[in-house]
């Protein structure tokens, strides 16, 4: 496929912020393991990937203070590469989970959320955050998020946060959050093979003009080795990679769907951006949505 810019897939709004539908996830900038807990990545290469992404039209970067390895922090890499920030760049982060310096996970109480927000502000060198997603733990899938989301709504009112979203959210979470403050996006795992309930959240977002921002659309390292015959067949027909087919399939689920594939590799970055120009036929979409593809959703560690 030829190189295309980040605008090839069109745009959508995160509140009053218009972004191209292909963004960049910052997790892999710090290392190869899930959530950046592996060996540190190459600093200058990561910085070059961030700068190249902006050159290619990426104006939506997803990060978190807990994306770090022994020597690298995604937020600090973003700050180093892109500050002073382009006016049209949206940097989204997430709170509730955290990691101590040893890498151990912890979950914030409502009273600790402001500290997590301020940590992101400090690392990114910002006076406000464009978008903060409340990342809901698996243990709260059947519980209320009102207390935590209410704190973020207060920080939004105070001017520290511009827009709010929810992540790992159910339909009930979305409804509860929207009763407290405007929700501009839902960030959930989704891609070829996602379970039916994931599609229900995607459709509900579309009905409410809320952006749906899936992660693990391509999934973890080595995914290509496990790609099905259907994915590989469609990829060959288009002269594309399996990852590009997965991104294109996801983007064609609705105009409100944004993707944030993560990479620390300049070539993969260019391929991911080019996927915005790939259009799959109705037959190809149906083939990739068939029962043969069910149950492939990527792992979700927290």
Is 273 contained in some domain?
no
186 CB-near residues (< 8 Å, 6+ apart): 165, 166, 167, 169, 174, 201, 205, 210, 211, 212, 213
Annotated catalytic residues are 67
Q: Which pTM does this prediction carry?
A: 0.92
CA distances from 265 to 26, 129, 182, 217 (A): 12, 26, 35, 17
pLDDT score of 22 more than 80: yes
**pLDDT tens by residue, 159-204:** 999 999 999 999 999 999 999 999 999 999 999 989 888 999 999 9
Please tell me the predicted confidence (pLDDT) of residue 220: 40
Residue partners of 28: CB distance under 8 A and separation at least 6: 36, 41, 262, 263, 264
Burial of 179 (0-12, 13-18, 19+ CB in 10 A): exposed
Assigned domain for 198 exists: yes
Instruction: Say if 13 falls within a structural domain.
Output: no
DSSP letter assigned to residue 107 = E
* Count of structural domains, the chain: 1
What CATH number did the domain enclosing 71 receive?
3.20.20.100
Within a domain: residue 249? no
Q: Is the pLDDT of residue 1 over 70?
A: no
Residue 160 lies in a domain: yes
Tokens of 18: 């218009």
The pLDDT value given to residue 152:
98
Range of the domain at 93: 21-221+257-264
Max Cα distance, the chain (Å): 53
For residue 214, the model assigns a pLDDT of 97
Mean pLDDT (the chain) is 91
pLDDT tens across 119-139, in order? 999 999 999 999 999 999 988
């Amino acid at each position: 496929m030829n190189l295309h810019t980040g605008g090839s897939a069109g745009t959508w709004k995160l509140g009053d912020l218009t972004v191209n539908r292909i963004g960049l996830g910052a997790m892999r900038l710090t290392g190869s393991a899930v959530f950046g807990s592996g060996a540190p990545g190459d600093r200058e290469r990561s910085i070059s990937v961030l700068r190249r992404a902006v050159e290619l039209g990426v104006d939506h970067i997803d990060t978190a203070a807990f994306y770090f390895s022994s020597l690298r922090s995604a937020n600090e890499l973003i700050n180093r590469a892109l500050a002073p920030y382009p006016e049209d760049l949206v940097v989204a982060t997430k709170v509730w989970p955290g990691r101590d310096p040893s890498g151990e996970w912890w979950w914030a109480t409502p009273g600790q959320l402001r500290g997590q927000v301020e940590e992101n502000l400090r690392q990114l060198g910002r006076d406000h955050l464009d978008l903060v997603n409340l990342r809901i733990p698996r243990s709260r899938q059947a519980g209320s998020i009102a207390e935590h989301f209410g704190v973020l709504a207060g920080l939004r009112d105070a001017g520290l946060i511009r827009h709010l979203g929810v992540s790992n959210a159910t339909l009930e979470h979305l409804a509860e959050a929207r009763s407290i403050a405007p929700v501009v996006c839902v960030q959930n795992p989704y891609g070829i093979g996602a379970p039916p309930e994931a599609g229900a959240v995607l459709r509900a977002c579309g009905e409410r003009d809320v952006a749906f921002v899936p992660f693990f659309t391509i999934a973890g390292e080595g995914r290509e080795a496990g790609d099905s015959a259907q994915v590989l067949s469609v990829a060959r027909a288009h002269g594309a990679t399996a990852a590009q087919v997965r991104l294109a399939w996801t983007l064609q689920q609705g105009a409100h769907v944004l993707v944030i594939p993560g990479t620390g590799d300049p070539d993969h970055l260019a391929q991911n951006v080019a996927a915005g120009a790939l259009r799959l036929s109705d037959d190809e979409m149906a083939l990739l949505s068939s029962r043969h593809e069910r149950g492939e959703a990527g792992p979700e560690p927290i």
